[in-house]
Amino acid sequence: MSRIRLPLLFCLGLALAGAPALAQERAAGVAPADDPDAVENAPAKVPLAEIQRFVSVFNAIRQAYVDPVEDRALMQSAIEGLLLDLDPHSAYLERADAEDFDEATRGAYDGIGVELVQLPDRTLKIVAPIDDTPAARAGLKPGDVIVAIDGKPIGPDNDLGSEPLRGPSGSKVVLTIRREGREAPFDVALVRETIRITSVRSRLLEPGYGYVRISTFQADTGADFARALDSLQERGRLRGLVIDLRSNPGGLLTTAVQVADELLERGGIVSTRGRVAVSDAEFRATPGDKLRGAPVVVLVDAGSASAAEVLAGALRDNGRARIVGSRTFGKGSVQTLLPLDNGDSVKLTTARYYTPNGISIQARGIEPDVVLRADPKARNGGRPDVTEAMLPRHLRGDGEGAAAHVPGEVLEGEAPIAEALAELKKLAAAADAPRRG
């Protein structure tokens, strides 16, 4: 999407409505810590000495800096500076970016259709182009870096953000792209359009074997997934289902929970834990499996992040699905969107996710049951340009740095689907065996 949505958003998706534990939804605020000994968390304990030091520096800049600086600009920089040394998913969002973040959950906006992460030099790295959008049709690829927009270079002294990518449907924008393997940056011209993200697509791979592709988790993804299953089952009994989550950057936690609930009769789905009680939550399945126990294979890769990892972890921990593909991205944190009185917002990491078995996926990802390898001819050999563990200042994960931890690969094309189908047929044959006996 034409916005900075860290993959994590839950851009994305992350991207909290009613409770900060529901990532990417808007919350009114964060309650103070319950621990009476946590003095640093108590609102009354303001660090006066540090504030006095801040005021001294503020006044020195106002009075002595070589060029005049507006008070508002100084204060804005100071507020943004509070977040600079936190994890890469915490950020100050100006009004336009906050509106973009909200639009991402609704699934419609005017732009080019690409998921982005902002690099330290302020350039914009493409996490993934969204299916059937101008960015995808123009051939933009994961790992491409946008270094200029309409001829204006992006850099520390010219932080354009993602806003110039947006604009009225039908208007043009020219991106200057730096791509690994090409000697010089090149221009790509695109025409903006209203991006109505179809997050769920489905088809039959063979009679009796269904396929559902979920490209992101937005507000209507849960309902669209249920309709897709109904449509597939109208064509006959499903012996099994492949759920394709490759390069799915995440989205709303609630919709990932809804999808998992459609396939589970009982059991936990995901839990969240933070420093304050309001960040703690547990989501459990309600009775009713739309596939009535038919086997499921979940296809993942190094681009499967956040809500996609929640779904994969929930189905595997409950023994409901076999995970096929490559190790996932490893974004296991919850972001809460805190609105400010001027229309801006703060996106703040407030909790970590845990699978039903109590496993944190942060900077670790989910290792598949059946490992697939990228095509040797794939760009960069299938190695991802970025994972959670590669991001500066990322939250440390359990067991991070272990020798056995190998980043996943990006799996493109139809070949991984064929391999997932082969695994699904094995599961279906095993499920049918008692009936034949």
Write out the CATH class of domain 200-436. alpha beta
Q: pLDDT, tens digit, for every residue of 321-362?
A: 999 999 999 999 999 889 999 899 999 999 999 999 999 999
- Bridge partners of residue 174, in order along the sequence: 189
- Residue of 408, 418, 417, 415 lying closest to 142 (CA atoms): 408
pLDDT over 50 at 429, yes or no:
yes
Cβ-in-10-Å burial (0-12, 13-18, 19+) of 194 comes to: exposed
Q: Are 363 and 397 in contact (CB under 8 A)?
A: yes
- Residue of 107, 108, 75, 104 lying closest to 92 (CA atoms): 75
pLDDT for residue 403: 52
Q: Which of 97, 102, 224, 317 is catalytic?
A: 317
pLDDT over 90 at 125, yes or no:
yes
* 45 is annotated as an active-site residue: no
What's the CA gap between 196 and 104, in Å, rounded? 10
pLDDT for residue 402: 62
Q: pLDDT, tens digit, for every residue of 37-56?
A: 333 444 557 788 989 999 99
pLDDT for residue 163: 77
Q: Are 69 and 61 in contact (CB under 8 A)?
A: yes
The pLDDT-based confidence of 435 (bands split at 50, 70, 90) is: low
What's the CA gap between 152 and 160, in Å, rounded? 9
- CA dihedral (12, 93, 396, 45) in degrees, to 10, reads -150
- According to DSSP, residue 394 is labeled P
pLDDT for residue 18: 28
pLDDT for residue 32: 34
- Bridge partners of residue 120, in order along the sequence: none
Averaged pLDDT, 136-165: 88
Mean pLDDT, the chain, integer: 86
Low-confidence winner among 13-17, 148-152, 187-191, 383-387 (lowest mean pLDDT):
13-17
Averaged pLDDT, 424-430: 96
The percentage of the chain sitting over the pLDDT mark of 90, rounded to a whole number, equals 65
Look up the CATH number of domain 3-26+91-196. 2.30.42.10
pLDDT for residue 35: 37
Go through 309-348 and write b for each residue having 16 or more CB atoms within 10 A of its CB, e for each that does not.
bbbbbbbbbbebbbbbbbbbbbbbbbbbbbbeeeebbbbb
pLDDT for residue 178: 95
What's the CA gap between 19 and 205, in Å, rounded? 39
The pLDDT-based confidence of 11 (bands split at 50, 70, 90) is: very low
Handedness of CA 209, 213, 217, 222 (dihedral sign): negative
Averaged pLDDT, 63-76: 93
What's the chain's length in residues? Answer: 437
Report phi then psi at 242, rounded to 5: -100, 125
The pLDDT-based confidence of 94 (bands split at 50, 70, 90) is: confident
pLDDT over 60 at 259, yes or no:
yes
Averaged pLDDT, 359-374: 95
Averaged pLDDT, 68-90: 92
pLDDT for residue 325: 98
* 331 is annotated as an active-site residue: yes
Report phi then psi at 336, rounded to 5: -110, 135
**Where exactly are the structural domains of the chain?**
3-26+91-196, 200-436
- Residue of 259, 268, 358 lying closest to 307 (CA atoms): 259
Q: Which of 87, 215, 331, 347 is catalytic?
A: 331
* 306 is annotated as an active-site residue: yes
pLDDT for residue 436: 53
Q: pLDDT, tens digit, for every residue of 151-193?
A: 999 988 777 777 788 889 999 999 999 999 999 999 999 999 9
Q: Which of 199, 304, 306, 360 is catalytic?
A: 306
Low-confidence winner among 82-86, 99-103, 203-207, 232-236 (lowest mean pLDDT):
99-103
Q: Are 87 and 395 in contact (CB under 8 A)?
A: yes
pLDDT for residue 34: 34
Q: Are 245 and 313 in contact (CB under 8 A)?
A: no
pLDDT for residue 110: 87
pLDDT for residue 358: 96
The pLDDT-based confidence of 3 (bands split at 50, 70, 90) is: very low
